[in-house]
Amino acid sequence: MKEDLSQINLVLGILNLILGLTLNGGGQILKAIVWKITNDRLEGGVWLLQAVNLLVHSTALQGSFLFWQLTHQVQYGSL
């Protein structure tokens, strides 16, 4: 139980750092890091948008896979 909660907390923390439209501006951290490395403010924004796009697609894919697993587990009764 504690391990599950700590894993959920870790994932939420990573999501908060990446997402660009969070209430506390967590995405600005990634944008600032890329801006510092490339010396290009717009490049930081491009990287931020690409990271959010990757995150959204991977989350949707994972959710679809878990839904598929759950529906087939119930249908076939396997675990």
- Structure-token pair, residue 66: 């878990």
Q: Under 8 Å CB-to-CB from 41, ≥6 apart: which residues? A: 35
Q: Given a cut of 60, is residue 67 above it in pLDDT?
A: yes
For residues 47 and 55, the answer to whether their CB atoms sit within 8 Å is: no
pLDDT tens digits, residue range 1-49? 777 778 878 877 777 666 655 545 666 777 788 888 889 888 877 887 7
Q: Which of the four pLDDT bands, split at 50, 70 and 90, describes residue 50?
A: confident
For residues 49 and 18, the answer to whether their CB atoms sit within 8 Å is: no
